[in-house]
Amino acid sequence: QRNLPDFKDAFTVQFEKGEKDFFCITAQDGKVRVKANNYISAFHGIYCYLKEYCNVQLSWCANQQIHIDRLEMFSGEYRKQIEQKYRVYMNYCTLDYSMCWWDFARWEKEIDFMAMNGINMPLAVVGTEAVWYETLLAFGFTKDEALGFISGPAFWAWQLMTNIDSYLPPKNEKYVYERLELGRKILNRYLEFGMQPIQQGFSGHVPTLLKKKYPKAKILMQRGWCLYPKTAQLDPLDPLFFEFGTVYLQKLEALFGNHHFIACDPFHEGTPPKSSKKYLNDVGKAINRLYESFDAGSVWVMQAWTHFCRTGRNFAFPAG
């Protein structure tokens, strides 16, 4: 209805089970019949048909509308099996390079574009400002202090990667809850389409102010990223790490639900406060223990270009 309104009645979709995602299309007598194992497979199949038989090509930033006079018919069937179980979309930088000012109308187009291209595992971190805001309030921060930790919309993604914090923060909580509302709309559409969201986890990155509020806690300072101020890292062996992380995950679940895949990039493009293998193993084990204690079925997701791990160091990743 949104992308091909003139031909919406010409398509029928039938769902069948399959060991892997697939679609099978026939186009005869003015009707396009789609068999698929789920919504994303069906959406992808329809778009593949439009590309292969109707010369349709949508681009991310230019042509975003389908213009055709008729649906092309063909004999036989057009079948495709999708080998990859998970098709991930977006990294953090994408959010603020391209998406930080989007409203839901623009996100709706993007999610349609994802579905047509077979994406089934998008990043779902819009609105996590509210998770942090409510977590910090729970640990004795005032509203202004909690808001002061949250970077502005064009910088929030780099805060989620632990590179910065407190950069051009919002002035009031209205912004935080507007972002929450947008994030919920995005997440709900992901779920309606049968996508598997990747949510934002806790890595140990905390406000520097937490050192004053919990003076006995072991909080170390990372080196500054680029020319930004240093950020604080809660030591993984300190009991506050588990306590703080648990409250964060509880707030995440209360606001967005728990969808099991959790993204976390400790020291993504920065330098840890300690570079020993023991410290890095402690960080990895602490994060993994936190996630598994909250959700035994959780999966820790990391980006593939973590700079610090390129040097031959690694974290205590779980087997497999």
CA pair distance 111, 106, nearest whole angstrom: 9
Task: Return the HEC string of 21-87.
Answer: EEEEEEEECCEEEEEECCHHHHHHHHHHHHHHHHCCCCCCCCCCCCCCCCCCCEEEEEEEEECCCCC
Residues 36 and 135 in one domain: no
Let me know whether 32 and 166 are in one domain.
Answer: no
Residue type, 125: V
Helices and strands (H and E) in the chain: how many? 10, 12
| Per-residue pLDDT, 23 | 99
Separation of CA 314 from chain center: 23
Q: Is the pLDDT of residue 96 over 80?
A: yes
Q: Are residues 78 and 94 in the same domain?
A: no
The closest alpha carbon to 258, from 316, 187, 318, 193, belongs to 187
Can you give the CATH number for the domain in which 275 is found? 3.20.20.80
- If asked whether residues 264 and 307 sit together in one domain, one would say yes
| 28 located within any domain | yes
Q: Which of 32, 63, 82 is the last residue of a domain?
A: 82
Residue 204 domain-assigned (yes or no):
yes
Rounded CA-CA distance 7/56 in Å is 14
| 241 lies in some domain | yes
pLDDT at residue 317, as a whole number: 53
Cβ atoms of residues 238 and 245 within 8 Å: no
Say if 318 falls within a structural domain.
no
- Rounded average pLDDT over 193-203: 98
User: Is residue 320 one of the residues assigned to a domain?
Assistant: no
Full domain range(s) for residue 31: 5-82
Distances (CA, A) of 320 to 75, 316, 317: 45, 12, 8
- Does some domain include residue 317? no
Residue 277 has pLDDT above 90, yes or no: no
Query: Residues 197, 184: contact at Cβ < 8 Å?
Result: no
What average pLDDT does the chain have?
92
Q: Calculate mean pLDDT across residues 45-74.
A: 89
Verify that 11 and 102 share a domain, yes or no: no
Query: Does 227 share its domain with 102?
Result: yes
Q: What is the CATH number of the domain that holds 36?
A: 3.30.379.10
**One domain, residues 220 and 259:** yes
Could you tell me which residues come within 8 angstroms of residue 14 by beta carbon, excluding any fewer than 6 positions away? 33, 34, 35, 36
Whole-angstrom CA distances from 207 to 97, 131, 159 are 24, 14, 11
Q: What digits encode the pLDDT tens for the residues 134-143?
A: 999 999 999 9
Cβ distance 306 to 265 under 8 Å? yes
Evaluate whether residue 160 is within a structural domain: yes
Residue with tokens 């969201």: 197
Looking at the fold, whether 105 and 69 belong to one and the same domain comes out as no
Please check whether residues 283 and 177 belong to one and the same domain.
Answer: yes
Q: Which residue has the higher pLDDT, 28 or 64?
A: 28
Amino acid found at 36: A
Q: How confident is the model at residue 308 (pLDDT cuts 50, 70, 90)?
A: low
Our count of domains for the chain comes to 2
Q: What is the pLDDT of residues 224-268, one digit of tens each?
A: 678 788 899 999 999 999 999 999 999 999 999 999 999 998 876
Cα(292)–Cα(297) distance, integer angstroms: 7
E strand residue ranges, 195-283: 198-200, 205-206, 219-221, 232-234, 261-263
Same domain, 131 and 205: yes
Number of other residues whose CB lies within 10 A of the CB of residue 157:
23
Q: Are the C-beta atoms of 243 and 205 separated by less than 8 Å?
A: no
Could you tell me if residue 156 is inside a domain? yes
pLDDT at 210 exceeding the cut of 60: yes
Per-residue confidence band for 3, with pLDDT thresholds at 50, 70 and 90: confident
Judged against a pLDDT cut of 60, whether residue 188 lies above it is answered with: yes
Domain boundary among 82, 101, 135: 82
Query: Which backbone phi and psi does 68 adopt, to 5 degrees?
Result: -140, 155
Looking at the fold, whether 147 and 235 belong to one and the same domain comes out as yes
Query: What confidence score (pLDDT) does residue 58 get?
Result: 87
The verdict on 64 and 131 lying in the same domain is no
Out of 39, 65, 82, a domain closes at 82
* pLDDT score of 242: 98
